Amino acid sequence: MRANWLAKSAMQIQSFRAIKARTKTDSSFQTPEQRRLLRGSETFTAQMSALQRVVSDTGSSGRDRELANRQIAILDELVRETDRRPTRKEADQLKVSDGYKQLLTIAEGQFKVLKASSFPNAIGGGAGLMAD
């Protein structure tokens, strides 16, 4: 249980950091390894799949499909291979985009749920750090 929780927690933290690293304008800019981890993360793939379903759903309104396409473009940008760091203006634009904010919110929320539901069990029971 503990090893499983630690692995899931590590992946959630890495996904969250990889998302945020894409907006860094200094040497902490997203690395190729972070892009690879993000591209393969459950958070990223689930969000991308959900958006692609909206685009392909003939029942979706044109506005919903347009919004989903814009968010897909942002997600693609987050994992696009590049060594060029964004300018401050580009980083700020990415930070306020719906796709970025939504993915970041999902990643953070998943980590908080994982942490709240698994942490007591991972450390040896529901009593917390002060047991015994």
Per-residue pLDDT tens digits for 38-96: 999 988 999 999 999 999 998 989 999 999 999 999 999 999 999 899 999 999 999 99
* pTM (two decimals): 0.76
99 CB-near residues (< 8 Å, 6+ apart): 70, 71, 72, 73, 74, 75, 78
